Amino acid sequence: MTFDLLSVSRRYRGQARDLHREHVNPKWMDAMGLIGFDKEYVRALGCALWDSEGNRYLDMIGGYATCNVGRNHPDVCKALADFVTSQSASMVCFDAPLLAGVLARQLKGRIGRDLDRVFFTNSGTEGIEAAIKFARCATGRPTILHESGSFHGLSTGALAINGCSSFREGFGPLCAHSRNFPRGDLSALEAHLATRDVAAVVMEPIQGKGVFLHPHGMIAEASQLCAKYGTLLVIDEVQTGLGRTGSFLAIDQEGDVRPHMVVLSKGLSGGQVPVGAVLCRADVWGRVFSRLDRAIVHSSTFHMNGLAMAAGLATLAIIDEERLCERATLAGARLRAGIDSIATQSPFISAVRQRGLMVGIEFAAPESLRLRLAWKVTQALDPNLFVQAVTIPLMRDDRILTQVAGHAIPVLKLTPPLVINDEEIDLFTAALARAVRALEDSGGPAWTALSGIARNAAERRWSALRSRLGSEPLPTGTHRDG
Ligand SMILES: Cc1ncc(COP(=O)(O)O)c(C=O)c1O
């Protein structure tokens, strides 16, 4: 019998959630079920998804900002198909894969900044891990500095510079030599740098968790401080890069920033194949790969795999041909105007933060006593809950995917594919207006849905605790890395 992928998909159609519940991650299935996101998607194109019942959805998450060129862009699909059907010699390992050389050259051509070496990875996290290692090796210093609220991935190295404590809980002790400074605080940064034990400062140009932008000029000043104290600057463009904010890199809009490394991933392969890249100054690279016997002192088996390289090359061509950086600026402005007009009328929206197609809508306690009480009750039940009063109706009533911007952060986040058109933007803003207006009815469906979820979540937590207490002793102390 010959293997046929399509018949496997047909045979198991409708069973995805059960399979995951049984074999993969039942907790994730519970979470998706609670907020009504437990769909089985079977087709995707551009910003659209279709479920197994033929319903169409508008994707405002964009695969965590991986689908910049739109889902299943025909040129990415063709590049992948061409690569597979051409019987290319992939994964030889003891060779110089052609497409990796071409992609490295093309990335350097777009980024410049004397970043002359490209190290490919399979993810953003791996890029950050590489940057941490390269920085320590090149400087001989131990400490890696990061901003509060940062997110750079979840492997132990990347987690050590993760500014969201919820991700670290239970996984310590992590690297002792990481420190953080308050987001945007240049004097705190300088105080750390002055100790001269800091190998690198790792920064996101715009923090993904909460969509926090830096004051204009701050990153350029941080860059100068790094130069003054001999510290390397690592710019994490995993989420902001590849046109997302209206320029190829977000730091292209930040003035004179001179990074020693730039980390890319997510949008580099058109949302199809794991990929990442660290662009690195030649002198830094030379101190890591310093001798013949260290030629692959940092590496990973799949890091230059042909599928990722082919998808990467197609993606760069699409970004140029379809002028997606410009598109992100224009579409972002339209989206922003729509959201601003909703925000000015809503007692719940306290701020809108946006650059290009990276948008955060922040919610806060309203002034009216009646609504403030409803807000406080929800916050007390669970600080992660409130924004779900917007994501749930958007999904339930309008089939639109949106997400909360981070743990206990009352921010709705949007990172749609950069190919989103005006009609889709207007459809989204009309739906958002309805969902936000419904919040003003404190006895209305949004709040009823919320209290239902809160009760449900609390019951689950309680029954989990009860069964744990019944079956095994609770640990006497849990380590929580600072
Ligand atoms: C800014 C940033 N850095 C690093 C990462 C980690 O990337 P990955 O999930 O591909 O490992 C992410 C993922 O969301 C990110 O947003």
User: Domain containing 338 — which CATH number?
Assistant: 3.90.1150.10
Measured CA to CA, the distance from residue 440 to residue 438 in angstroms comes to 5
370 C-alpha to ligand 1 centroid (Å): 39
pTM of the model: 0.94
**Mean pLDDT by groups of 10 residues along the chain of 482 residues:** 92 95 97 94 98 96 98 98 96 96 98 98 98 98 97 96 91 90 98 98 98 97 98 98 98 98 98 97 98 97 97 98 98 98 96 98 91 83 86 96 93 98 98 95 72 67 54 35 30
282 and 363 together in one domain: no
| Residues 42 and 94 reside in one and the same domain | no
- Spell out the SS3 assignment of 191-248: HHHCCCCEEEEEECCEECCCCEECCCCHHHHHHHHHHHHCCEEEEECCCCCCCCCCCC
Domain with 170 in it: 74-321
- Who's near 212: CB < 8 A, 6+ residues apart? 149, 183, 206, 353, 360
Same domain? 33 vs 118: no
How confident is the model at residue 473, as a pLDDT?
Answer: 36
Whether residues 78 and 54 share a domain: the answer is: no
CB atoms near residue 87 (< 10 Å): 7
For ligand 1, the distance from its centroid to the CA atom of residue 294, given in whole angstroms, is: 28
Q: Confirm or reject: Cβ of 237 under 6 Å from ligand 1.
A: no
Q: Is 207 in the pocket of ligand 1 (CB under 6 A)?
A: no
| 283 lies in some domain | yes
Residue 140 sits in the same domain as residue 255: yes
- Residue 452: closest CA among 408, 368, 370, 396: 396
Residue carrying the six token digits 């406080």: 376
For ligand 1, atom 8: residue with the closest CA = 124
Q: Which atom of ligand 1 is nearest to the CA of 265?
A: 10
Which residue is closest in CA terms to ligand 1's atom 3? 152
Residue 275 corresponds to which amino acid? Answer: V
- Confidence (pLDDT) at 482: 30
80, part of any domain: yes
| 241 CA distance to ligand 1 middle (Å) | 11
Q: Can you give the three-state secondary structure of 3-19, one letter per residue? A: CCHHHHHHHHCCCHHHH
- Report the SS3 class of residue 370: helix
Q: How high is the pLDDT of residue 21?
A: 97
Residue 463 to residue 458: CA distance in whole angstroms: 9
Alpha-carbon gap, residue 250 to 240, rounded angstroms:
6
- The closest alpha carbon to 419, from 59, 49, 60, 70, belongs to 70
Q: Is residue 164 part of a domain?
A: yes
Domain contains 474: no
Assigned domain for 451 exists: yes
Give the Cα separation of 65 and 44 in Å (integer).
15
Q: What is the pLDDT of residue 176?
A: 79
Q: Examine the fold and report which residue of 321, 345, 366 is the final residue of a domain before the chain moves on.
A: 321
Residue 209 near ligand 1, beta carbon < 6 Å: no
Measured distance CA(305)–CA(89) in Å, rounded: 10
CA distance 280 to 302: 20
> Where is 367: in which H helix or E strand?
none
Q: Give 258: exposed, middle or buried? Use CB within 10 Å, 0-12, 13-18, 19+.
A: middle
Same domain, 234 and 286: yes
> DSSP string spanning 99-116?
HHHHHHHHHHHHH-TT--
- Taking residue 303's Cβ as centre, other Cβ atoms within 10 Å add up to 20
**Nearest atom in ligand 1 to 64's CA:** 14
Cα(151) to centroid of ligand 1, in Å? 7
Pairing between β-strand 349-355 and β-strand 358-363 as defined by DSSP bridges: antiparallel
Let me know whether 200 and 294 are in one domain.
yes
Q: Using DSSP bridges, classify how beta strands 212-213 and 206-207 pair: parallel, antiparallel or unpaired.
A: antiparallel
Atom of ligand 1 nearest to the CA of 266: 10
Strand partners, 49: 44, 57
CB 64 less than 6 A from any atom of ligand 1: yes
Neighbours of 344 (CB within 10 A): 9
229, two tokens: 């104290």
Q: Ligand 1 pocket: which of 66, 68, 147, 151 to mutate (most atoms <8 Å of CB)?
A: 151
For residue 475, tell me if it sits in a domain: no
Task: Answer yes or no: is the C-beta of 212 below 6 A from any ligand 1 atom.
Answer: no
Cα(131)–Cα(137) distance, rounded to whole angstroms? 10
- What's the number of domains the chain is made of? 2
pLDDT at 385: 84
The type of residue at 250 is A
Q: Is the CB of 265 under 6 A from ligand 1?
A: yes
Nearest CA among 365, 400, 360 for reference residue 380 = 365
Q: Who's near 156: CB < 8 A, 6+ residues apart?
A: 171, 174, 175
- CATH at 222: 3.40.640.10
**Within this chain, do residues 286 and 335 fall inside the same structural domain, yes or no?**
no
pLDDT of res. 477: 35
Q: What single DSSP character describes residue 151? A: -
Question: What backbone torsions phi and psi does residue 332 show, to the nearest 5 degrees?
Answer: -60, -40
